[in-house]
Chain A
């Protein structure tokens, strides 16, 4: 067996797993044990797997990542620049370990560490945790579930609208650390909440983040989900997010990928009842030799569902962006209204993008629009700005910035939006 992708490497990743403290919940321990078993049966995907055709993760397997045994103690000042003043609560995780001293909750809803909060919400958790983000065929979700311990648990009770956004801050501090962030959001009927998953680094180190999030919306619930991946440029980031939408619920997400040497985000949204709506937007802004891969799937399983998707990539240097956007309209999902657009800007001759809209439609009364563009800046747009006095470079920078800002603009948290806008501005300034 090839040691790079075979069980030897996965075994080495699991080395510290038995040292994990057992949960008082028997079913949770069983879930972990099942996940360990699955890791043993699966292999690291290679370019031969259709889902990983463009994303070669073999560099990941050349490094011996292990969970940290001792979490670094950070001063509040060290993460000051990541503070969001609007946030009603913050949960901070340092290299995957919950940091209560950097966390707070000013809201009246449950925003807690999974490891300690699970007991109180066991009845609510059991039907959801590990049930939406399946790990039977997904080795990274299985690894994450095998290490399931610290994580974010958000429960928004019926008809409660949480005022400020809830900030989940995942801070990477150590080279060669593996962290397994976990997040479960349960938005009960008629509730509304904004959740920010924010992955940041304190140094330019090579580490491995393997995250899993499950977001469950009950009838008429509304969740706005912002995901910012601003990892170190040497890091590996693999994440799976599964969203389940009940009757007339609304899910909006904006995910931004800036960091990582190799990053992969799988977002699966299941419309599990009638009249659900989702809008999922994404931006990858990468340079150098970065690779950012985004695989999304919107599963229209019931009638009268609506989905909107705009995914953009700005690729500089010799970076490589991958987008695979699947829209599945199952038999019976009549009157589905779906639109998807993939727009890509290549700033150099060496930049590359592979984009694949993938529509699978098995109902006949549906409206599905999709389109993909790959190119350079539009010459007419550049001329328009130059005719207003802007230099060629300034015009190109502004248009590149605007291309990204269109997605950033959709983030409903002003301070985060502003900060990301300045990052985009700095990175599109040539």
Chain B
């Protein structure tokens, strides 16, 4: 939601990034303010997932130009863990399975690490158990998932719920959800979207990276950005997503090229 008294959470200017010497992001500008939900859409290979990973500090990508700040702090000089502690959360498209580590153990470790950095109290296993069970209700998750190994043998929907559960525990300033809707059936999508809506508040911001409009039936964005060729080529309101759903992406690309030609 757009608020009058909002403050800037994320400020991206002229961001360029490459992997193995190939430039994927070719100059991105984006401003995200508290309370807002942004959707970044675009065809496959447009760079939207790369953008999400670069924001979270994935070491495989080299930032070659531009600035990224989170609430005024230079994010680019921070390691991935420092970004997480500062309030960036990336929900993975393909969450990693970790056989041998109980989900409860992992969740508590992540929670306590971030809490300690923020100067808050850590929770012992019993306190944490109560706390996490409360959060799991939000996502209609079976408490059995606490005792199982992290994501091991979870269905696609269960993995995504587990991602949103982590977001609920870590309470980020900026939640970036990469293709959270992929692999979800309609019931799981409803639950996951419901969780995201409950977590989105006046003091944080959400960026949804998605290929399809489907998710946006459940989470209504304030802004929709279209990415193509490593750039944001169009920005609009939630109605843009519907237009993309019916007309595809080609017309946006054509429009962008024409405009570029006109100014050249």
Chain A residues with a Cβ under 8 A of chain B: 378-381, 383-392, 394-395, 398-399, 401-406, 408-409
Contacts and interface: CB of A to CB of B under 8 A. Distances in A.
Given A401-B100, A405-B100, A405-B101, A392 B60 contact: no
Contacts of A388: 84, 106, 110, 113-114, 166, 170
A385 B109 CA distance: 10
A387 B100 contact: no
Listed residue (A384, A387, A408) with the most chain B CB atoms within 10 angstroms of its CB: A387
Contacts of A399: 98
Query: Nearest 9 pairs between A and B by C-beta?
Result: A405-B100, A402-B100, A406-B100, A388-B110, A386-B80, A384-B96, A389-B84, A389-B113, A389-B114
Given A398-B101, A409-B100, A383 B59 contact: yes
Nearest to A381: B96
A358 B85 CA distance: 48
Contacts of B59: 379, 383
Given A389-B81, A390-B109, A406-B100, 11 more contacts: A381-B98, A384-B95, A385-B110, A387-B90, A387-B92, A389-B85, A391-B81, A394-B109, A398-B98, A402-B98, A402-B149
Interface of B: 56-60, 79-81, 83-85, 89-90, 92, 95-96, 98-101, 106, 109-110, 113-114, 117, 149, 166, 170
Nearest to B96: A384
A22 B171 CA distance: 74
Given A388-B166, A390-B109, A404 B80 contact: no
A383 B170 contact: no
A386 B79 contact: yes
A24 to B, nearest CB: 50
Contacts of A395: 81
A393 to B, nearest CB: 10
Contacts of B96: 378, 380-381, 384-385
A403 B89 CA distance: 25
A63 to B, nearest CB: 37
Contact of A401 (B56, B101, B166): B101
Contacts of B117: 389
Contacts of B81: 386-387, 389-392, 395
A389 B106 CA distance: 11
Nearest to B59: A383
A402 B103 CA distance: 12
Contacts of B84: 386-389
24 contacts: A378-B96, A379-B60, A383-B59, A384-B95, A385-B110, A386-B80, A386-B84, A387-B57, A387-B84, A387-B89, A388-B84, A388-B106, A388-B114, A388-B166, A389-B117, A390-B113, A392-B79, A398-B101, A398-B106, A401-B100, A402-B100, A405-B100, A405-B101, A406-B149
Nearest to B84: A389
Contacts, number: 74
Nearest to A409: B100
Contacts of A398: 98, 101, 106, 109
A394 B109 CA distance: 10
Contacts of B56: 387
Contacts of A402: 98-101, 149
A379 B85 CA distance: 20
A402 B57 CA distance: 24
Listed residue (B60, B90, B98, B113) with the most chain A CB atoms within 10 angstroms of its CB: B98
A383 B83 CA distance: 12
B58 A383 contact: yes
Listed residue (B60, B90, B100) with the most chain A CB atoms within 10 angstroms of its CB: B100
A375 to B, nearest CB: 16
B189 to A, nearest CB: 23
Nearest to B105: A398
A321 B229 CA distance: 48
Nearest to A407: B100
A388 B113 CA distance: 9
Nearest to A421: B100
Contacts of B98: 381, 398-399, 402
Contacts of A408: 100
Contacts of B89: 387
A389 B166 CA distance: 11
A141 to B, nearest CB: 34
A395 B117 CA distance: 16
A399 B57 CA distance: 19
A403 to B, nearest CB: 7
Nearest to A398: B101
Contacts of A392: 79, 81
A216 B12 CA distance: 69
Contacts of B92: 384, 387
A378 B59 CA distance: 13
A404 B57 CA distance: 28
A325 to B, nearest CB: 20
A244 B19 CA distance: 55
A403 B81 CA distance: 22
A420 to B, nearest CB: 12
Contacts of A389: 81, 84-85, 110, 113-114, 117, 170
Listed residue (A388, A404, A405) with the most chain B CB atoms within 10 angstroms of its CB: A388
Contacts of B60: 379
A390 B150 CA distance: 15
Contacts of A386: 57, 79-81, 84
A394 B79 CA distance: 14
A399 B106 CA distance: 11
